[in-house]
Chains A and B, each alone.
Chain A
C-alpha cells in the first residue's frame, strides 16, 4: 500500500527535477615540484601507520616461514654468540679488582647483556639501511610516505630484543644477579637505541639508493663498530691509553651513540652504576643523527622512483 503525499505547488518543480547532488568538498591534494629541505610530514605518517604495522608484520611472518625451528632462532642467536665469546674471550676479558674478587658479574652474563642491545642496534641499522632498496617494487608502484619503510624495518629486531630480554631475566635468576632500581632506565635506553639506529638507518637508506657502494660498506662497518663499543669487553680506559689521553677519550668515545647507550643498558640491567655523562652525550648524538637523517631522506625521497 503506497501513501500518496500531497506536494505543495511551489515544490512540484523541485520534485520532478531534483537539483544536482551537492558536491562533497574533498580535501585537496596539490602536486607541485618541491625544492630544498622539507620537514617530516607527521600527519601523513600517522595516516599511514597501519601500513607501517603491516610491513613490520610481513617481515616478521616471512622470517621463519618454512623453517623447522621457527621462533626458536630468535633465542638461539644471542645464546650462541654468548657461548662463543665466553669460551674464546672469557679468560682475557675478565677484570678483577685489587683483592682479586670479580668486579663484574660472571663473564657469560656480562657478554649476553651487552650483546642484547648491540644485536638490536646492529640489526636495526643493517635492515633499515637496506630496506629502501629492497622495497623497490613498492616505491615505483604506489604512493605512501617513504619514511615508513626504514622505520618499519625496526620491527623484527625489536621483537627479537623483547624475546631476548625474557631470556635475560631467566639467566639473571639463575645466576642470582639482581637488578635494582636502575632497571627503570631500560625502556628509555631501548628508546634511545631505537632513535640512534633508526636515525643512522634512515640516513644510510637514503644514501644507498643513489650510491650503491653503501650496500657493501655497511655490513663491514657494523662489524668494526662492534669493537668500538664495549659490548663484549670491559673498556678499561685508563689502562688502555694512559692518563694523558684520558680526557680526550672520554669526550670522543661517547660520540659513538652505541657506546653510551649500550654501556648503560648493561649497567642498568645488571644493577651497576650508570655513567650519565656518556649517556647524555650519546643521546644528544642520536638526536642529531635522527634529525639529519630525516631531513636528508626527505630531500632525496622525491627522486627515489626515478633513480632506484
Chain B
C-alpha cells in the first residue's frame, strides 16, 4: 500500500534576530534607532547568501535549522505520534506538513485531504454568536456550507452549550469556548488529521469525550499525526512514534521504545544525581542529593508492574539542625499532577535530623496506578513552614499492566479516559427492577 504521507529530507531554516543589547542611556537608544534602516538593508541584502553560507557549515548567529534531514513515511490508517523536547521542531514539522510555512529544502508527498488542528478556535470572532462562529470556523477548517448545515445539530449537541448558542462568543466561559471550538473540529471528515497538543485544553470530562470520538474515527481508516507532551495519551493512541531532537529524527519505531528513549533523556538507570536538577525552595536547612528507585529484589529499576512494591532511596544533606522535619515524596503523572503523597511524619518517622548526610528508604507496598509514565518529586521541609527543597519530576518510571484483581482487568484500554488510580470495589447482581423497598433495604 502506498504511504499516505512521504516526508523526504525536509529541512527548515529560520532567521533569528541578533541579540538585543541592553540600552543604558538615551543616547544609545537614539543611535540604535537611527542606525536601524542601514542594518535592515544590510540584512536584506544578505538574504540570498544566507543559505549558501550555512551550507558551508559556518556557524551563524542569525539563523537556525529548525528541521534537518527529516524523513519518514506514514501508512494509511496509522496513528503516528511525534514527540520531543520543547524546541525540537515538532510544531515546525506540523506547520510544514500543513503548508503553513514552506520548507527550505526537501519534498513531501501527501495523498488525501489534510485537516490541521494546530489550535482550537482558529478564526473565532469574539463579536459573533456561537451559531455564526460554527459556520465561520467550519469554513476556515475546510468544510463546505452544505456540510456545516447538515452537521449543525450534531455539533451543537457535542458542544453542550445549549441556550448560549446565540450569544456572542466573547461572553462565553473559557470552557464553553473550547468545547464549541472542539465540537466543530471533531466533526471534520478528513483523510489525514494533524493535531498539535490541542487535547491539552478543556476539563477532564470533555477530554474524555474528545479522545473517545477520535479513537472511534481512527478505526475508520483515518490517518492521524499527533504531537503531544502527554506520554500517556501518546502511549494510548499511537502505535508508532517519531522522536525529534534539535530538528533531527533520532527514533522512528514502536511507541513504547520511543517513549522510553525520550524519557531516558530525563532519567537514567541507576539512580539520579539531583545536584543540577531544577528545584524549588530556599534550601536553608536541607538539600536532596539523589534519588533511586528499586524493585522488590532491591535492584535499580524503572519499569514496574501494577501491584509491585516500589522502594525509593533518598539521600538528603541537612545543613541546619531540623527539630521537626518532614520528608515526603509526591507521585506525579506525566503532566506533573500530584496523584499521591508519601509523607514521613504521617507514617511515624518523626525524630530530629542533625547536620550531615542522611539516607531515607521508602517502601511502597503495592503500586495501583494505571499503566503509564509517572514521576516522583521529593521534598524536605520543617514542620509548619513552607517547602525547603523540592525537586519536581526527579525520577521517572513506567508502570505496565498486570492482573491486580485476579479477573484479568484491561486497564490499558482505559488509560485514555484519564483514570490514574485503581481502587478495588465489590460487585453483586440480582435480576429485576429496583423498587422502593430494595433501595432502602
**A interface residue numbers (CB < 8 A to B):** 20, 23, 25-34, 50-51, 54, 57-58, 61-62, 65-66, 137-144, 302-303, 305-306
Please tell me which stretch of B95-103, B290-298, B303-311, B368-376 contacts chain A, meaning at least 4 of its Cβ atoms lie within 8 angstroms of it: B95-103
Shortest Cβ distance from B139 into chain A, in angstroms? 4
Please determine whether A306 and B110 come into contact, CB atoms closer than 8 angstroms. no
Taking A23-B76, A306-B15 as given, write out 18 further A-B residue pairs in contact, using a Cβ cutoff of 8 Å, ordered by the A residue number. Answer: A23-B1, A23-B2, A27-B111, A27-B112, A28-B111, A30-B108, A30-B110, A31-B103, A32-B103, A33-B105, A33-B106, A54-B135, A62-B125, A66-B127, A137-B123, A138-B140, A142-B116, A142-B118
Please determine whether B95 and A305 come into contact, CB atoms closer than 8 angstroms. yes
Shortest Cβ distance from A15 into chain B, in angstroms? 22
> How many positions in chain B have a CB within 8 Å of any CB in the partner chain?
44
Please determine whether B76 and A141 come into contact, CB atoms closer than 8 angstroms. no
- Taking the complex as formed, is B354 at the interface, i.e. its CB lies under 8 A from any CB of chain A? no
Shortest Cβ distance from A149 into chain B, in angstroms? 11
> Which of B2, B106, B145, B168 is within 8 Å of A65, CB to CB?
B168
Please determine whether B14 and A61 come into contact, CB atoms closer than 8 angstroms. no
A277–B376 CA distance with the chains assembled, in angstroms: 83
Please determine whether B1 and A33 come into contact, CB atoms closer than 8 angstroms. no
Please determine whether B99 and A138 come into contact, CB atoms closer than 8 angstroms. no
Shortest Cβ distance from A300 into chain B, in angstroms? 11
Please determine whether A50 and B128 come into contact, CB atoms closer than 8 angstroms. no
Please determine whether A142 and B109 come into contact, CB atoms closer than 8 angstroms. no
A65–B166 CA distance with the chains assembled, in angstroms: 13
A140–B113 CA distance with the chains assembled, in angstroms: 19
Please determine whether A34 and B107 come into contact, CB atoms closer than 8 angstroms. no
Give 9 nearest A-B pairs by CB, closest first. Answer: A31-B108, A54-B139, A26-B112, A143-B99, A302-B102, A305-B101, A62-B127, A29-B110, A26-B111
Please determine whether B116 and A143 come into contact, CB atoms closer than 8 angstroms. yes
Given contacts A50-B139, A65-B127, contact A140 B108 (CB under 8 A): no
Contacts of A306 in B (CB 8 A): 14-15, 101
A50–B2 CA distance with the chains assembled, in angstroms: 32
Please determine whether A54 and B107 come into contact, CB atoms closer than 8 angstroms. no
Which residues 3-52 of B have a CB within 8 angstroms of A?
Answer: 14-15
Please determine whether A29 and B100 come into contact, CB atoms closer than 8 angstroms. no
Shortest Cβ distance from A58 into chain B, in angstroms? 6
Contacts of B102 in A (CB 8 A): 31, 33-34, 302-303
Contacts of B122 in A (CB 8 A): 137-138, 141-142
**B interface residue numbers (CB < 8 A to A):** 1-2, 14-15, 76, 95-114, 116, 118-119, 122-123, 125, 127-128, 132, 135-136, 139-142, 144-145, 168, 191
A32–B107 CA distance with the chains assembled, in angstroms: 5
Contacts of B127 in A (CB 8 A): 61-62, 65-66
Please determine whether B1 and A54 come into contact, CB atoms closer than 8 angstroms. no
> Which of A51, A58, A142 is within 8 Å of B98, CB to CB?
A142
> Which of B105, B109, B119, B132 is within 8 Å of A28, CB to CB?
B109
Please determine whether A142 and B110 come into contact, CB atoms closer than 8 angstroms. no
Shortest Cβ distance from B406 into chain A, in angstroms? 37
Contact sample, A vs B, 23 pairs, CB 8 Å cutoff: A28-B111, A29-B111, A30-B107, A30-B108, A31-B97, A31-B103, A31-B108, A32-B103, A33-B106, A51-B139, A54-B140, A58-B125, A58-B132, A62-B128, A65-B127, A140-B100, A141-B100, A141-B122, A142-B98, A143-B99, A302-B101, A305-B95, A306-B14
Shortest Cβ distance from B395 into chain A, in angstroms? 37
Given contacts A23-B76, A50-B139, A65-B168, contact A143 B107 (CB under 8 A): no
Contacts of A143 in B (CB 8 A): 98-100, 114, 116
A139–B1 CA distance with the chains assembled, in angstroms: 34
Q: Please, which residue of chain A has its CB at the minimum distance from the CB of B143?
A: A50
Contacts of B105 in A (CB 8 A): 33
Contacts of B123 in A (CB 8 A): 137-138, 142
Please determine whether B113 and A26 come into contact, CB atoms closer than 8 angstroms. yes
Please determine whether B110 and A28 come into contact, CB atoms closer than 8 angstroms. yes
Please determine whether B109 and A141 come into contact, CB atoms closer than 8 angstroms. no
Shortest Cβ distance from B127 into chain A, in angstroms? 4
A139–B118 CA distance with the chains assembled, in angstroms: 12
A237–B86 CA distance with the chains assembled, in angstroms: 66
Shortest Cβ distance from B8 into chain A, in angstroms? 10
> Which of B95, B104, B106, B140 is within 8 Å of A51, CB to CB?
B140
Contacts of A29 in B (CB 8 A): 99, 109-111, 114
A50–B144 CA distance with the chains assembled, in angstroms: 7
Residue picked from A20, A27, A29, A30, most chain B C-beta under 10 Å: A29
Please determine whether A142 and B103 come into contact, CB atoms closer than 8 angstroms. no
A210–B303 CA distance with the chains assembled, in angstroms: 52
Given contacts A65-B127, A66-B127, A141-B122, contact A30 B101 (CB under 8 A): no
Q: Please, which residue of chain B has its CB at the minimum distance from the CB of A32?
A: B107
A33–B109 CA distance with the chains assembled, in angstroms: 13
Shortest Cβ distance from A146 into chain B, in angstroms? 10
Contacts of A25 in B (CB 8 A): 111
Shortest Cβ distance from B429 into chain A, in angstroms? 33
Shortest Cβ distance from A3 into chain B, in angstroms? 29
A29–B190 CA distance with the chains assembled, in angstroms: 14
A65–B133 CA distance with the chains assembled, in angstroms: 14
Q: Please, which residue of chain A has its CB at the minimum distance from the CB of B113?
A: A26
Shortest Cβ distance from B152 into chain A, in angstroms? 15
Please determine whether B191 and A26 come into contact, CB atoms closer than 8 angstroms. yes
Q: Please, which residue of chain B has its CB at the minimum distance from the CB of A303?
A: B102
Contacts of B76 in A (CB 8 A): 23
Please determine whether A30 and B118 come into contact, CB atoms closer than 8 angstroms. no
Please determine whether A33 and B128 come into contact, CB atoms closer than 8 angstroms. no
A50–B116 CA distance with the chains assembled, in angstroms: 18
Contacts of A65 in B (CB 8 A): 127-128, 168
A140–B100 CA distance with the chains assembled, in angstroms: 6
